[in-house]
Amino acid sequence: MTATALPAWAELHSHRHDLTGTRIADLFAADPRRGPELTIEDDGLVLDYSKNLVTARTLELLVRLAEQRQLSTGIEAMFAGDHVNVTEDRAALHTALRAPAGAGLPQSAAVEAVLARMSAFATAVRSGARLGATGKPIRAVVNIGIGGSDLGPAMAYQALREFATPTIDLRFVSNVDGHDLTRVLDELDPETTLFVVSSKTFTTVETLTNAYAAREWLLDFVDDSDAVAQHFVAVSADDRAVAAFGIDPAHKFEFWDWVGGRYSLWSAIGLSVMIAIGPDNFRQLLAGAHAMDRHFRTAPLDRNMPVLLGLLGIWYRNFWDAQTHAVLPYDQRLSRFPAYLQQLEMESNGKSARRDGTPVAVGTAPIVWGEPGTNGQHAFFQLLHQGTVFVPSDFIGVLRPHHDLPGHHDLLMANLFAQTEALAIGRPAAGAGTHRDFPGNRPSNTLLLADLTPYALGRLIALYEHKVFTQGWIWNINSFDQWGVELGKSLATRIVAELNTEQQLGHDSSTNALIERYRRARQ
């Protein structure tokens, strides 16, 4: 049954009506224990969801919605490997990638075998044992990939740079804009550079274009076609496409069609991260994600962090008409986390069709965006505090920093706490005029990590993965396909062929004129 037909949906609507005029400040005033009571602490991760526009009744109804929608059945179906990706008839078993070797899953042996190969390879690169074609040790690694084959590793590497070996210079190239690749290559030495071509399908035009250009760059310097074998490895689910590129299957790290691109950091797509932080730390990343898997699977719905984040998102999206959701990491190391979440949430749940193909009757994923604090405070927080758009947000902070500069971390965290307080509680203008009025009543979650370790990062990422699953299940959409990216890709293929000809164009008049202008400019 779809969510809107469930009794809890109607109850939530009428409850939302009852809450009109309710102020978060009053909820705190009425219950001095609200903060600690609406906080969950589990294994070094704290979720304080008390600064939301919710009462005990709201939470009860949201959990009832999850129960009536049989969320627990959905969770078990995903973990069991049922083909929850219905449009592609596939399982979504990223959780199997981080299950302990002894878990005895049908996938465990294959997963462990690839992890062992990755570890041996990463160790050889890190130690200098892996040599380039001219006998020099590899010193730079370039991950070429896009979307899920870039955002996860790039985000994780930024987050965990303090754990990375200084002997390897790790870079990421994703954009088909040639400036991305040339800027990186200009700073590297072909004799000591290794390319990790990461693409699940190995057909993604951006990645292949960059990989071919990188190969040319290498061969310009090292005039030996065998050099490709020394300087290129592939991460892919498709053997034949890798071989067609010219990478020996012996230099390919496998993953499987039951791993979605945006859920693939835990697979061989994480190879570049493993090279940087080492196999043991990569295992910790997996262990953290697995710990969150256990929590998601076993914690009661009303104490379940991903479930609560998902339900609160639904509360604002569907009952308060929130169009957007801000993610505000108060930690520079998490600067790529909002971009990573944009793909995770918007590619997974930005859908208008239900699993059976019928149109959805409710809003699905909001627009997810964000920047690290405190930078965002000096850019867009004006709108968050006094604008006319309702923006629920997640603040993410880390209790202990990885530097020893005096004072910085206190300032950073004081700002995080101050912003969530100002947004929720506000401050009346007290005669100073409406320009100085802080209306408050703007909800946020606060997530605090004890430390930003590989383990803690694994937990944080898996938390959001399962939040996305929770929402997708309740909206009855398939969170694991991405048909919406196809039309633009096929039109680009047609247009790129048209750019170099004089042929008559058959697009709309705007597109025709833009193409003509480009044709003239490149003559």
149 near ligand F6P, rule: CB under 6 A: yes
Q: Candidates 132, 148, 190, 401: give the one binding ligand F6P (CB under 6 A).
A: 148
Strands of the sheet containing 232-236, edge to edge, are 169-173, 140-144, 193-198, 232-236, 252-254
Measured from the CB atom, is 171 or 442 closer to ligand F6P? Answer: 171
Q: Candidates 51, 171, 200, 442: give the one binding ligand F6P (CB under 6 A).
A: 200
Residue 347 known to be catalytic: yes
Torsion from C-alpha of 72, 76, 78, 83, nearest 10 degrees: -110
Question: 402: helix, coil or strand?
Answer: coil
Show the binding pattern over residues 227-256: x = contacts ligand F6P (CB under 6 A), - = does not: ------------------------------
Tracing tokens 């209790």 back to the chain, one arrives at: 399
Cis ω before 374 (30° cut-off from 0): yes
Question: Measured from the CB of residue 478, what is the shortest distance to ligand F6P in angstroms?
Answer: 13
**Active-site option among 254, 347, 371, 465:** 347
**Active-site option among 17, 179, 216, 378:** 378
Q: Candidates 8, 99, 105, 146: give the one binding ligand F6P (CB under 6 A).
A: 146
Distance CA(502)–CA(508), nearest Å, equals: 17
Per CB under 6 A, the segment of 85-93, 142-150, 212-220, 389-397 that binds ligand F6P is 142-150
Residue 351 known to be catalytic: no
Q: Candidates 85, 107, 204, 230: give the one binding ligand F6P (CB under 6 A).
A: 204
Burial of 6 (0-12, 13-18, 19+ CB in 10 A): middle
Per CB under 6 A, the segment of 85-93, 143-151, 210-218, 421-429 that binds ligand F6P is 143-151
With beta carbons less than 8 A apart as the criterion, state whether 147 and 343 touch.
Answer: yes
Measured from the CB atom, is 66 or 144 closer to ligand F6P? Answer: 144
Measured from the CB atom, is 146 or 413 closer to ligand F6P? Answer: 146
User: How many C-beta atoms surround the C-beta of residue 13 within 10 A?
Assistant: 14
What part of residues 76-135 is at the interface with ligand F6P (CB under 6 A)?
Answer: none
472 near ligand F6P, rule: CB under 6 A: no
272 near ligand F6P, rule: CB under 6 A: no
Could you tell me the two tokens for 240? 């034949």
Pairing of strands 45-48, 39-42: antiparallel
Measured from the CB atom, is 147 or 372 closer to ligand F6P? Answer: 147
Measured from the CB atom, is 148 or 376 closer to ligand F6P? Answer: 148
210 near ligand F6P, rule: CB under 6 A: no
Question: Measured from the CB of residue 200, what is the shortest distance to ligand F6P in angstroms?
Answer: 4
153 near ligand F6P, rule: CB under 6 A: no
Could you tell me the two tokens for 298? 């076993």
Distance CA(92)–CA(263), nearest Å, equals: 9
Distance CA(499)–CA(212), nearest Å, equals: 21
Question: Measured from the CB of residue 268, what is the shortest distance to ligand F6P in angstroms?
Answer: 11
CA atoms within 13 A on the CB side of 146: 17
Choose among 481, 461, 464: nearest CA to 345.
Answer: 464
Q: Candidates 58, 207, 374, 377: give the one binding ligand F6P (CB under 6 A).
A: 207
Tracing tokens 């012996």 back to the chain, one arrives at: 250
With beta carbons less than 8 A apart as the criterion, state whether 149 and 201 touch.
Answer: no
152 near ligand F6P, rule: CB under 6 A: no
147 near ligand F6P, rule: CB under 6 A: yes
Q: Which helix (H) or strand (E) holds 504?
A: none
Distance CA(42)–CA(299), nearest Å, equals: 10
205 near ligand F6P, rule: CB under 6 A: no
Could you tell me the two tokens for 492? 């680009």
Residue 489 known to be catalytic: yes
**Active-site option among 76, 136, 162, 489:** 489
What part of residues 342-381 is at the interface with ligand F6P (CB under 6 A)?
Answer: 347
Measured from the CB atom, is 204 or 230 closer to ligand F6P? Answer: 204
430: left (phi over 0), alpha (psi -120 to 50) or beta: left
Choose among 280, 43, 252: nearest CA to 160.
Answer: 280
Active site residues: 347, 378, 489
Q: In the complex, which residues of this chain contact ligand F6P (CB under 6 A)? A: 146-149, 199-201, 204, 207, 261-262, 347, 482, 485
